[in-house]
Amino acid sequence: MTLDLGLYLVLDPGLCRDRGMVETARLAVAGGATIVQLRDKDADTARLIEAGRALRTALAGSGAMLIVNDDVEAALAIGADGVHVGQDDMDPGEVRRRLGPRALLGLSVETVDAAQRVDPVLVDYAGAGPVFATATKPDHKPPVGFAGLAEIVRACPVPVVAIGGLAAGHADAVRASGAMGMAVVSAICGQADPRAAARAMAQAWQAAVAAGG
């Protein structure tokens, strides 16, 4: 399967509220999300596995990839397409060793220095941000803005997906930075109609790509 970072949904169980993560993901993928990340910072491995298996079943045949945040053992048990880790999580070399050669490995990079240190032999893509301050991740690093994002993209040897405070209206600027997609939580999870929200974002992204930005 080809890696398409275009519209990367990061799930948040709190923001999905009564609709739940599985239905939110299903609607978002119907609207054009290309990747879904299971991110539940309060769940232990057993709960992540349960949620991830339900997500995997719901997304089967959709073409969307399933990534698990932080937890390699859960990703392996789920049979997910990959794992995303941050600079303060497990070492990428160790993640790759446990994950095997086929699964995807995403790594957060918040600075040019971190981007330069990404090993493309181990890491498949980078999540760069936050572009803007966001209440979704209270412990986020300082916002980089679009200029900072462009510097990170230039320094990074793997494709970059931008994250942090993004909405459909940012597609042109994100694309102009050289990023290969937009990762969002609240712009989809927190919305009354996640499918329509995802469709608006996916269309904005595709238009930005078609415009050659």
**Quick one: which segment of 24-32, 80-88, 118-126, 181-189 binds Mg ion (CB under 5 A)?**
80-88
37 is in an annotated binding site: yes
The answer to whether 12 touches 211, Cβ cutoff 8 Å, is no
CB neighbour list of residue 94: distance below 8 Å, 6 or more residues apart = none
With beta carbons less than 8 A apart as the criterion, state whether 173 and 204 touch.
Answer: no
Q: In the bound complex, what is the minimum distance in angstroms from residue 162's beta carbon to ligand LCLJCK34?
A: 9
Q: Is 89 known to sit in a ligand binding site? A: yes
Q: Does 137 bind ligand 3NM (CB under 6 A)?
A: yes
Residue 141 catalytic?
Answer: no
Annotated binding-site residue? 141? no
Report yes or no: 171 and 8 within 8 Å, Cβ to Cβ.
Answer: no
* CA-CA-CA-CA torsion sign (203, 176, 5, 163): negative
Give the one residue of 32, 82, 129, 194 binding ligand 3NM; rule: CB under 6 A: 129
**Residues of the shown chain interacting with ligand LCLJCK34 in the complex, contacts defined by CB under 6 A:** 8, 10, 37, 39, 41, 69-70, 84-86, 89, 106, 108, 127, 137, 161, 163, 183
